[in-house]
Amino acid sequence: MNDERYKLVYSDQNTATEKINGSKRAPGTGRAHMRLERKGRGGKTVTVIEGLTLSDDLLRPLLKELQKICGTGGTIKEHHLELQGDFREKIRPCLEKQGYKFT
């Protein structure tokens, strides 16, 4: 059979991720976007982090770590992390240490 005609559609093997600093993420990624939102939140400030290429199972421990560093609450919505308050300067070094770069 000619293997060039066939593409892999699904695999249950975990070959698409690599371990970096103890957490799994897709290879070749590492760009995160951080922004501050106030609109539609009753005037309250929320730090939104998007572009993290982690699965939902790995986002939860990262959220817990960031909540502990900032001493605030947060949640995961639509594969984005949301922290209550403006904590961009506290969050950036933690995520850069894990290999993420910000645009």
Q: What is the pLDDT of residues 28-85, one digit of tens each?
A: 356 788 999 988 888 899 999 998 878 888 889 999 999 999 999 999 998 899 999 9
The CATH number given to whatever domain includes residue 52 is 3.30.780.10
> Does residue 62 fall inside a structural domain?
yes
Q: Is the pLDDT at 27 greater than 50, yes or no? A: no
Q: Is the pLDDT at 25 greater than 50, yes or no? A: no
C-alpha–C-alpha distance, residues 94 and 62, integer Å:
10
> Does residue 5 fall inside a structural domain?
no
Structure confidence at residue 98 as a pLDDT band (50, 70, 90): confident
Residue type, 22: G
> Does residue 17 fall inside a structural domain?
no
C-beta of residue 29 within 8 angstroms of C-beta of residue 95: no
Number of domains the chain contains: 1
The dihedral over CA atoms of 9, 24, 69, 30, expressed in degrees to the nearest 10, equals -70
> Does residue 51 fall inside a structural domain?
yes
Residue-level pLDDT at 10: 62
Q: Which residues are 74's β-sheet partners?
A: 83
Structure confidence at residue 20 as a pLDDT band (50, 70, 90): very low
Residue-level pLDDT at 30: 65
> Does residue 7 fall inside a structural domain?
no
> Does residue 1 fall inside a structural domain?
no
